[in-house]
Amino acid sequence: MAFWRRISRQMQAATDSVAVAPALPAVERPKSPRSRMMRQYDLVERVRSYNPDTDEDLLNRAYVYAMKAHGTQTRASGDPYFSHPLEVAAILTGLKLDDATIVAALLHDTIEDTEATRAEIDNVFGHEIGALVEGLTKLKRLELVSREAKQAENLRKLLLAIADDVRVLLIKLADRLHNMRTLEFVPHASRRRIAEETLDIYAPLAGRMGMQEMREELEDLSFHTLDPEAYAVVMQRLDALAERNRNLIGEIESQLSKNLQKNGITARVYGRRKQPFSIWTKMERKSVGFEQLSDIYGFRVVMADVESCYRALGVVHTTWPVVPGRFKDYISTPKQNDYRSLHTTVIGPGQQRVELQIRTEEMNQIAEFGIAAHAFYKEGEGSPTERLKHESNAFAWLRHTVGILSESANPEEFLEHTKLELFHDQVFCFTPKGKLIALPRQANVIDFAYAVHTDVGNSAVGCKINGKFAPLSSELQNGDEVEVLTSKAQAAPPSAWESLAVTGKARAAIRRATRTAVRDQYAGLGRRIVDRLFARAKIEYADDKLKGALPRLARASIEDVMASVGRGELKASDVARAMYPDYKEERMVRYGAKRSLADKLKLKSPPHPARSASVIPVRGLNSDLPVKFAPNGGAVPGDRIVGIVSPGEGITIYPIQSPALKDFEEEPERWLDVRWDVDETMPQRFPARILVHNVNEPGSLAQVATVIAEHDGNIDNISMSRRSPDFTELTIDLEVYDLKHLSAIIAQLRAKAVVARVERVNG
């Protein structure tokens, strides 16, 4: 210990000219970074003020180690680099955190920016502190294409570290706060990027953890950088308002306290002005001017217990008129970040609108310090992370978010999900059984369904809001009771839901279900292709036999093999050879030049009995196979059809008379035997195209459209071209039930005097 003190005294002299910012989490940025840097004993005294049992030797060793490790390194401001970790530690003493957190703050840049190693820190300070420092170390030499991908990977690593120990988050937020306080010294090109990242991720993350004061300072510092003109205007208006209402806050505090005392209620009342960024976003959100804002000042009424909170609310509401619609009870229904308070707005002294927050001392601590109010050690109660698992809803949200990591297909998708989860205040809705579901504002029933359970979201087909049927896209309001109607027939949600969902959880689940459904479609197609080849080759197929051949196909499962065949990545013959090494692929018979395409397809004779079992049924676009129809003309039930397999695209169905089939004559391995398998009890529409030569006169197009509509056809697209002064050529894409339906529409069109000719297009 004497050695460390001697070294520290020698090194202290070199840094006496540099300052440390005040320790509280929401303070003014230091105007001049160059003044006296906090001494070693100052740091110890800060910690001792709230923790008399602090390990002075540990703090001293960390102070000296970090100072020595950073050596002559300097920051952009010209300060010794060590001033930065010292500032971070000072901020955390304002949150009254434990010794290990303060030490990790002092050391948090040593692994990344100095010669120090994790093993050395473990050896000197122990595994616990080493793990904290490692969790804060950014990914180095990360070869990623985009800045967004790197940002996402760093956030991913941070959240994983937080799941192990929440103190990582507290240090990281303090680190970001000090970097934002000194952002003016960073090169101009980097300032905007850092401020945007702070506003996008770190400020909302602080808010989600209930650390409101830190969030507000991060937002204001970012606002000052991103839009200095708007920031200056808001501050100018706030200063002018403060000058006009110099005594207003004191008067309101006094009257509130007196009224409560008259009713036997002891309370601590204090007022505060809202922050510039909060005011600016409210002006933007509500499209109002500064003069129209009436709740720039807020007042906190801090009570001894919960019962007193409700008694105080009664006094306030019977003393002054209440502003309708401005009461919220976050005590009975806490926010997800553990925030609890009663909110109300009244017309107070001098006809001034007064916004009140009524809460207990414990609630006030959590409102100011959030997750940090739970995080430091209490004797006999285990580590901060263990305590948070039982005490903090905010930490539960954090663990849930980390759980999404494994479901994100790529870093950018994870970053998108996390940003969606961080933003917005909440609405509280209920299931029919009374379960409370918290969602971000502007969330809809789709988000609600996935919040209840992923299976509920995937199978949702309708809903009732407060007992009335409503669309699944309906935006939810506070207090709504939502009943989600489900159907087993819907195995996967429509992919279009992804654009409707607001929450990251819903979007991730929809993407996952869509990917699974598409994979299942390709696997189904692949299995049928394999079955067809094995049937024609008269060899036996068995899953058990294929399972033994998986290493030869470099696939992990049978489903992977089938999906690869369906996507065209593997050939069915490759599967056969893997299972039967002596299998020889049947030779494709080359047809003579004089034989027609119809001969090749054997259109004049029925399918061979041995092959009929391998014919693939086609049900339509909603089938369990990846099916689409000929792009220039489609196909409808009643047509004789053939399927063409395209790698990565599934099956394209062509009518046999389609001239496009000539393009595939030299690729017989892509041809599939297919047949219609239409369910007459659930009619579907299929695509077809017709060419109409119409007389060029007023109302002729309307007559064509009327005929199609009257015969239950649906026009999907229409294009027009003038072939002569007297006629217009219409190319119409229709949706019809079958060939009989299409023929009836064509016949009715031919009967019209304004129609010169109608023919079906087979592209």
CA distance 205 to 706: 58
Least confidently predicted of 144-153, 283-292, 440-449, 678-687: 144-153
Mean pLDDT for the stretch of residues 197-202: 83
**Has residue 644 got a pLDDT over 80?**
yes
Above 50 in pLDDT, residue 113? yes
Using CB atoms within 10 A of its CB, is residue 6 exposed (0-12), middle (13-18) or buried (19+)? exposed
Report the distance separating Cα 318 and Cα 301, nearest Å. Answer: 16
Most confident of 401-410, 495-504, 599-608, 617-626: 495-504
Residue 444's pLDDT band, with cuts at 50, 70 and 90, is: very high
**Closest C-alpha to 298, from 261, 352, 351, 336:** 352
Query: Residue 88: how many CB atoms within 10 A of its CB?
Result: 28
Confidence of residue 665 (pLDDT cuts 50, 70, 90): confident
Q: Quote the pLDDT of residue 415.
A: 63
Query: According to CATH, where is 3.30.70.260 located in the chain?
Result: 686-761
Q: Comparing 422-426, 609-613, 674-678, which segment has the lowest mean pLDDT?
A: 609-613
Residue 646 has pLDDT above 80, yes or no: no
Per annotation, catalytic residue among 112, 361, 665, 759? 112
Q: Give the model's pLDDT for residue 384.
A: 52
Indicate whether 25 pLDDT > 90.
no
Mean pLDDT, residues 241-261: 82
CB atoms within 10 A of CB 749: 22
Comparing 161-175, 376-390, 409-423, the range with the smallest average pLDDT is 376-390
Percent of all residues in the chain with a pLDDT value above 90, rounded to a whole number: 20
**Catalytic choice (42, 55, 56, 113):** 113
CATH class of 2-187+194-221: mainly alpha
How far apart are alpha carbons 667 and 657 in whole angstroms? 18
Lowest mean pLDDT among 18-22, 42-46, 367-371, 437-441: 18-22
Catalytic residue check, 673: no
Average confidence (pLDDT) over 64-82? 90
- Roughly how many angstroms between the first and final C-alpha of the chain, as a whole number? 88
Mean residue pLDDT of the chain comes to 79
pLDDT in tens, 229-249: 988 988 888 888 777 777 777
**Per-residue confidence band for 529, with pLDDT thresholds at 50, 70 and 90:** confident
Confidence of residue 425 (pLDDT cuts 50, 70, 90): low
Interior angle at CA 717, CA 715 and CA 718, nearest 5: 100
Neighbour-count burial for 288-315, b at 16+ CB within 10 Å, e otherwise = eebeebeebbbbbbbbeebebbebbbeb
Q: What's the CATH architecture for 245-369?
A: 2-Layer Sandwich (3.30)
Residue range(s) in the chain whose domain bears CATH number 1.10.3210.10: 2-187+194-221
Q: Are 348 and 191 in contact (CB under 8 A)?
A: no
Q: Who has greater pLDDT, 735 or 283?
A: 735
CA distance 713 to 706: 10
Does the structure show a pLDDT above 80 at 658?
Answer: yes
Digit-coded pLDDT (tens) for 134-189: 878 754 433 444 566 666 666 666 666 666 677 888 898 999 999 999 999 888 88
Which tops the pLDDT comparison, 25 or 246? 246
Q: What is the mean pLDDT of residues 544-564?
A: 86
- Give the position of tokens 């970012």: 222
Please give the pLDDT value at position 581. 85
Q: Residue 28: its pLDDT value, please?
A: 42
Query: Has residue 121 got a pLDDT over 90?
Result: yes
| Residue 611: C-alpha distances to residues 285, 536, 591, 627, 757 (Å) | 66, 7, 20, 21, 41
- 558 has a pLDDT exceeding 80: yes
Distances (CA, A) of 264 to 86, 252, 258, 268, 316: 47, 19, 10, 13, 13
Max mean pLDDT among 26-30, 574-578, 678-682, 721-725 falls in: 574-578
> Which DSSP state fits 248?
H
Task: State which of 135-149, 425-439, 716-730 shows the largest mean pLDDT.
Answer: 716-730
Let me know: does 230 contact 290? Beta carbons within 8 Å: no
pLDDT of residue 607: 40
Please say if 112 is a catalytic residue: yes
CATH for the 686-761 domain, from 3.30.70.260, 3.40.309.10, 1.10.150.20, 3.40.50.620:
3.30.70.260
Q: Assess whether pLDDT exceeds 50 at residue 82.
A: yes
Confidence category of residue 65, pLDDT binned at 50, 70, 90? very high
Q: In 3D, which of 56, 52, 126, 43 has the Cα closest to residue 92?
A: 43
Domain(s) of CATH 3.30.460.10: residues in the chain: 245-369
> Which residues face 357 on adjacent strands?
300, 343
Maximum average pLDDT range among 150-164, 233-247, 413-427, 548-562: 548-562
Answer whether residue 762 shows pLDDT above 50: yes
Q: Which residue has better confidence, 141 or 618? A: 618
1 pLDDT exceeds 50? Answer: no
pLDDT above 70 covers what percent of the chain? 78
